Amino acid sequence: MPFFSAEPAYRHGTPTRTAVLLCNLGTPDAPTPAALRRYLGEFLADHRVVEISKPLWWLILHGIILRTRPAKSAAKYRSIWTDGGSPLAVWTEKQAKLLRGWLGEAGVPVLVRHAMRYGNPSIASQLDALKAEGATRILVLPLYPQYSATTTASVFDAVYAWAARTRSVPELRFVNHYHDHPGYIDALAKKIETHWREHGQGEQLVMSFHGVPERTLHLGDPYHCEARKTARLLGERLGLAETQLRVTFQSRFGKAKWLQPYTEPTLIELAKSGVRRVDVVCPGFTSDCLETLEEINQEAREAFLHAGGEQFHYIACLNDSPAWMAALSDIAQQHLAGWPLQPANPGLRDASRERALACGARD
């Protein structure tokens, strides 16, 4: 017999509701080796992330990586940890709260929760919570502007896995990408322009995207093309010539060939060629995290300066900037179109409407 997860019993007369689930990659619960071991064990066990033979990878993961990497990663996380916890967790939670407010102001009163593909709060637990709140329509909105099977599709996998063990599955919609959405591009441009007004403009703007193995491009993953389009549109919006910007890829893992050019070697090359100041932005990350605050603003900064560069300016991610929240609200509204929405105060429904609901009518 199929296994179904425990879920609230259906109750006649309960107003149906619409919800948005913001999904991000994830983060450990604490900057400790034990917490990193749990987090990396879940993250690196995902076949979407590491596409090699599962038995072979299991031996490598548990025999080598989870024995050595957690302590090193914990030290990196400690260098960026805040009083509120992991920056990624802090920003993602704040974005969810702000999005609900922005949508409410726009006359779109929906439930909004956030979830992490790996770590807490999990996608399954937040979907359970939304169902318990009466959500029968859920928009799954990953915080990845560019689609990749390693990230976006993995979020969808987690939703499908939850649905497979859920008896009454809500109506689901998914946002695949918004790499070229005008509001997203404008929010990035405003973030950069604000930095330039306050600190001046560097000789080169380096746009660093998270890397993926090159083979994913040849297998049909659109990530590389979407990252390049984001960079092109952003460069045009900023009025930059091609010679004023570089597109690079960071976070290479393992010995396989990844998308190039790589970020840190490019920065070293720029410094050695006489470029004194670079501005670095990470358009593929909507929230500051380990990959931006430690890998770019610490490690890449040190590499550039050590190679002879004089000024390294890291431009923060979109985080909670008003232009980004407006764009995120717009993206959500476009994908919510056509779904009925609950009133701002369901308690104000009249008695006849409640009786109609109890008899089987739906919003």
Determine the residue type at 335. Answer: H
Q: Which residues pair with 172 in a beta bridge?
A: 138
Binding site annotation covers 302? no
Query: Do residues 208 and 289 both lie within one domain?
Result: yes
> What's the pLDDT at 343?
55
Assigned token pair, 120: 């807490």
Reduced DSSP (H G I as helix, E B as strand, rest coil) percent helix, strand, coil of the chain, to 5: 45, 15, 35
Q: Decide: 255 and 243 in contact? Cβ < 8 Å.
A: no
Each residue's pLDDT expressed in tens, for the chain with a length of 363 residues: 455 555 655 565 667 899 999 999 999 999 999 999 999 999 999 999 999 999 999 999 999 999 999 999 999 999 999 999 999 999 999 999 999 999 999 999 999 999 999 999 999 999 999 999 999 999 999 999 999 999 999 999 999 999 999 999 999 999 999 999 999 999 999 999 999 999 999 999 999 999 999 999 999 999 999 999 999 999 999 999 999 999 999 999 888 899 999 999 999 999 999 999 999 999 999 999 999 999 999 999 999 999 999 999 999 999 999 999 999 999 999 999 999 876 544 443 333 333 333 334 333
Query: Do residues 156 and 255 both lie within one domain?
Result: no
> What's the pLDDT at 3?
58
Q: What φ, ψ does residue 289 adopt, rounded to 5°?
A: -160, -170
> What's the pLDDT at 345?
47
Q: What φ, ψ does residue 164 adopt, rounded to 5°?
A: -65, -25
> What's the pLDDT at 11?
61
Query: Do residues 187 and 173 both lie within one domain?
Result: no
pTM of the model: 0.90
Q: Report yes or no on 354 lying in a domain.
A: no
Q: Report yes or no on 112 lying in a domain.
A: yes
Domain count, the chain: 2
Query: Do residues 172 and 187 both lie within one domain?
Result: no
Edge-to-edge order in the sheet of strand 311-315? 245-250, 204-210, 277-281, 311-315
Q: Report yes or no on 25 lying in a domain.
A: yes
Query: Do residues 269 and 329 both lie within one domain?
Result: no
pLDDT tens column, 190-204: 999 999 999 999 999
Burial of 157 (0-12, 13-18, 19+ CB in 10 A): middle
Distance between CA atoms of residues 263 and 207, nearest Å: 9
Query: Do residues 114 and 232 both lie within one domain?
Result: no
Q: Decide: 21 and 126 in contact? Cβ < 8 Å.
A: yes
Query: Do residues 289 and 330 both lie within one domain?
Result: no
> What's the pLDDT at 357?
37
What's the CATH code of the domain at 298? 3.40.50.1400
> What's the pLDDT at 255?
81
Q: Look at residues 273, 294, 315 and tell me which one is the last residue of a structural domain.
A: 315
Query: Do residues 341 and 251 both lie within one domain?
Result: no
> What's the pLDDT at 15?
77
What is the pairing mode between strands 135-142 and 245-250?
unpaired
Q: Report yes or no on 216 lying in a domain.
A: yes
Q: Decide: 291 and 251 in contact? Cβ < 8 Å.
A: yes
Q: Report yes or no on 3 lying in a domain.
A: no
Query: Do residues 278 and 303 both lie within one domain?
Result: yes
The DSSP annotation for 311-341 comes to EEEEEP--TT-HHHHHHHHHHHHHHHTTS--
Binding site annotation covers 195? no
Determine the residue type at 135. Answer: A
Query: Do residues 199 and 307 both lie within one domain?
Result: yes
Q: Report yes or no on 73 lying in a domain.
A: yes
Q: Report yes or no on 299 lying in a domain.
A: yes
Query: Do residues 272 and 163 both lie within one domain?
Result: no
Q: Report yes or no on 356 lying in a domain.
A: no
Distance between CA atoms of residues 183 and 330, nearest Å: 8
Per the structure, the complete domain to which residue 79 belongs is given by 17-179+322-348
**Residue in the structure block whose two tokens are 């670079």:** 278
Give the H/E segment covering residue 230: helix 223-238
> What's the pLDDT at 293?
98
Query: Do residues 154 and 201 both lie within one domain?
Result: no
The DSSP annotation for 246-285 comes to EEEEE---SSS-BSSSBHHHHHHHHHHTT--EEEEE-TT-
**Residue in the structure block whose two tokens are 């080598």:** 64
